Structure 1
Amino acid sequence: MNQNAQLDAIARDSIYGLGCNAAMIRYSWSIARRYLPAGRLLEMGPAEGVMTPLIAKDYAELHLLEGSEVYCQGLRQAFPKAQVHHSMFEDFKPAQPFNAIVLGHVLEHVTDPVGVLSLVRQWLAPGGRIFAAVPNARSVHRQAAVIMGLLPQEDAMSELDHRHGHQRVFNPESFRACFTQSKLAIEVFGGYWLKPVSNAQIDRDWTPEMLDSFMRLGERYPDIAAEIYVVASLA
């Protein structure tokens, strides 16, 4: 199966934007908007477009770069004012640089995250910023899974990781290393969502208020939060 077909297969079976995951994506944008400058924004790998309507409220000039034609069809219908680019990242050649670039849960999917960030560096305008977020291998719930024998090690791929099409699970050090190797300057490192149990348990038992409070708690303890992020600029 070629890469485009793989992306479309994942898109047809996606559960990424459901339940507490959708709340996580919305919270991620609440952090990103603190740091990103105004102007042209590129969202890479928007998938179903869970974060996209939030971005569209803040950015009039919005570009969406997506490798799955299945997702692109939905994005064109949902966001007619956005420019949707159906392209693999490696083949994309923007006409102009971007002031802000968002990679929400992208780098864990790609074969060469350093290579992708090196490309993104070329697309960034002077004074621009990148916001990237990924799942954290050192999350409390993954540490607990290792103790319970559900995972052999913190960065092991779970069944859900495989279903999402992940190729790796970063820890804080390996995530930051991708940016330094790409010659990008890390301005901010942080985390969100202190997650003690699985998504299924949260969706079944937690109230929205509980979920929001644990999203916020993760900002206090980034190294063990479920999600980690970097804000980067040109070095």
Structure 2
Amino acid sequence: MAHDYSDLYDPDADFDRHYTAATGTRIRRWFRPGDRVLELGCATGLMTSSFVARDVLVDAVERTPAYHARAAARGLPRATFHLADIDDFRSVHRYEQVVAAHLVNELPDPVALLRRIREEWLAPGGLVHVSLTNPRSLHRLIAMEMGVLASPAGLSDRGRSLATVEIFDADRLEELAGQAGLVCVHREPVLLKPFTNAQLAVLPDEVIVGLDRVAHLFPDNGALNYAIFVADD
């Protein structure tokens, strides 16, 4: 999993920062004071910075040296940044909250990671938070009707450059999680996306916030799917 695209992509400057903020806000609502949080694939620590605003302890894992250095430089209290590939990361702790935001779609075997989360890292009664690109996002459906995409799950050149292996919907995510011994207890969309990132980037931030607020009216068509899982004991 040693794909380094840090020279192509800045998570703090790209439009994706809006998805990071919106997803982080959703995730941290489930945090309880004193929880241990494991964040897998933290990049520059943008989402981590929203987590530590709650009274939690965060272990954040990032494989890319350039991103890890920027995350560590934030000097966030109650956050420890680990430079490691997820395959190599080991911890003596179990975690009440495990976060895999926009990660499983970069893996050739997402079930293996989800199983490892359940068996190795998740504390009893803990929650697993997963977000990923939604193939049923409005902008993808529009692109398909225009003939730009052959199918909603088609990979763009940008997606390939950012290590995307596959795009699958929330039902497929639940199916894969079930193979890993996890069951979904909550699911919701993140940000309604009618246009491409570049087209949305010219809009004021308050419009982007509005698109996120209205997403719940279109549960199958958000830009991202966000789901929470627990161990199927």
Report the TM-score, using the length of structure 2 for normalisation. 0.92
Tell me which of 193, 203, 209 is aligned to 1:212: 209
SS of match in other structure, 1:58? coil
Contact 2:128 2:229 in 1 (8 A): yes
Deviation at 1:141, TM superposition (A): 0.4
Contact 1:189 1:229 in 2 (8 A): yes
Q: What aligned pairs does 1:61-80 form with structure 2 within 5 A after superposition?
A: 61-79=57-75
Structure 2 unpaired stretches of 5+: none
User: Counterpart of 1:227 in structure 2: which amino acid?
Assistant: L
Aligned position for 1:106: 103
User: Counterpart of 1:182 in structure 2: which amino acid?
Assistant: A
Question: What is the percentage of aligned positions where both structures have the same residue?
Answer: 24
CA distance in 2 between counterparts of 1:210 and 1:19 reads 17
The verdict on how the C-alpha distance between 1:229 and 1:44 changes in structure 2, with shifts beyond 3 A counting, is same
Tell me which of 183, 195, 198 is aligned to 1:200: 198
User: Counterpart of 2:93 in structure 1: which amino acid?
Assistant: Q
CA distance in 1 between counterparts of 2:10 and 2:219 reads 25
Contact 1:41 1:59 in 2 (8 A): no
Aligned position for 1:96: 93
Deviation at 1:80, TM superposition (A): 5.5
Aligned-residue Cα RMSD (Å) equals 1.6
Deviation at 1:34, TM superposition (A): 2.2
Aligned length: 229
Tell me which of 19, 25, 40 is aligned to 2:20: 25
User: Counterpart of 1:86 in structure 2: which amino acid?
Assistant: L
Aligned position for 1:14: 9
1:110-137, Cα deviation, whole Å (9 max, x unpaired): 1211110101112000111111110100
Flag as ranges the 4+ runs of structure 1 deviating above 3 A: none
Report the TM-score, using the length of structure 1 for normalisation. 0.91
SS of match in other structure, 1:62? strand
CA distance in 2 between counterparts of 1:37 and 1:132 reads 18
